[in-house]
Amino acid sequence: MKGPLADEGVIEVPLEHAGDHVTPGLEEAGRPAITEFSVRVRQGPWALVDVTLVTGVLHQVRAHLASVGAPIVGDTLYGGPEEPGLQRFFLHAASLKVRHPVTNEPLFVESPLPDELARVLYQRLPP
């Protein structure tokens, strides 16, 4: 799947390590990797995307979005466009749900969008 990112979907592409990054791999060579996504808002070629990891492979979000033609802004390793003034790529863990290591209870943590990313977001996708 290449071209404009669908409104929502599942990317299920095995990934294998290749030096400092991962690449789509053959099913027997790569680690299983599943990413769910939904587009929150679009503006021209830009989109704000919510992503849920079903599995956890190094660089999974970056590699999966790049594999469908939607690399992350600023992530030049995976083909993302540069953004003037952005000192990182536009990827943020807004929330995380894990099991507490001692109590085994669900633990939910949220993190607001950092100022640097919020500035770029509102330049590209006005509220």
Q: Which helix (H) or strand (E) holds 8?
A: strand 8-12
Number of folded domains that form the chain: 1
pLDDT score of 127: 64
Each residue's pLDDT expressed in tens, for the chain with a length of 127 residues? 455 799 999 999 999 988 788 887 766 678 899 999 999 998 888 899 999 999 999 999 999 999 999 999 999 999 999 999 899 999 999 999 999 999 999 999 999 999 999 999 888 876 6
Domain that holds residue 70: 8-124
In-domain check, residue 48: yes
Is position 18 within any domain? yes
Those residues whose C-beta lies under 8 Å from the C-beta of residue 44, and which sit 6 or more positions away, are none
